Amino acid sequence: MAGKTLIKVKNIFRTYKLGEIKVPALNDISLEINQGDFLIITGRNGSGKSTLLRQLALVDRPNSGEIYFEEKEVTKMHSNDRRNLRLTRLGYIFQEYALIAELSALENVMLPAMMLEPIKKCRPRAELLLKKMGLQNKMNNLPSQLSGGEQQKVAIARSLINDPEVLFADEPTANLDTFAAKDVLQIFKKLNQDEKHTIVMVTHEKEEEVFANRLIKLEDGKIV
């Protein structure tokens, strides 16, 4: 049974300028994301998948249209309010991990929480998350001392540090070997089914679609 509607998108358009030419990335997209969904957005390269994810996660703004989070319109919300909403309610996992090279795994995980509370409060939570990821012996390692799969697990732990309601993942297995990719997908499955996180994931890998309970395919910036 579907949960309440968390995110509602109404007729959003997103265009990028390439020199003097306007390139449409999203063309009249409307959709709803419900609590407890594991939604996968798929499509060819250039179809608008990552652009859509950035709109949903409030990383970018559409040129027109509306996005609602729990019935509150967030499209025109002030930048500081959008930042606070992202920080406290949404988690984002990048394809390239986006870890800070000079910080340990533990420090990378703590970083978003340190924007909200003292280190002594967020450190135990960060340690627990890394233990859940099987990285209890690598908390003090720098990213350069971790494999790709381990770096992505650190990135997942970081996205969970503020206990978000929705996790957004942009091709999180693209840079991983088959074994590491399966490991990461099993983590997402557990987060969705056991810990009830809503997950929105972009992928172009056909075999990953089985993890979703909902699937959206994009083609030339449109849902097909």
pLDDT the model gives residue 58: 95
Q: How confident is the model at residue 2 (pLDDT cuts 50, 70, 90)?
A: low
Percent of the chain at pLDDT > 90 equals 88
Q: How confident is the model at residue 199 (pLDDT cuts 50, 70, 90)?
A: very high
pLDDT the model gives residue 37: 96
Decide: residue 195, CB within 10 A, 0-12 exposed, 13-18 middle, 19+ buried: exposed
Q: Is residue 114 pLDDT above 90, yes or no? A: yes
Pairing of strands 38-42, 198-202: parallel
Where do the domains of the chain lie, and which CATH numbers do they carry?
39-58+89-223 (3.40.50.300)
Mean pLDDT of 66-77: 94
Give residue 120's identity as a one-letter amino acid code: K
Q: Is residue 53 pLDDT above 60, yes or no? A: yes
pTM for this prediction:
0.93
Cα first-last separation, the chain:
24
Beta bridge partners of 73: 68
Mean pLDDT of the chain: 94
Q: How confident is the model at residue 17 (pLDDT cuts 50, 70, 90)?
A: confident
Residue whose structure tokens are 């297995």: 173
Helix axes 148-160, 105-114, angle to 10 degrees: 20
pLDDT digits (tens, 9 = 90+) for 23-45: 889 999 999 999 999 999 999 99
Mean pLDDT of 203-220: 93
**Choice between 181 and 20, residue whose per-residue pLDDT is larger:** 181
pLDDT the model gives residue 4: 92
Q: Is residue 95 pLDDT above 90, yes or no? A: no
- Closest of 198, 208, 151, 157 to residue 175, by C-alpha: 151
pLDDT the model gives residue 1: 47
Most confident range, picked from 17-21, 95-99, 140-144 = 140-144
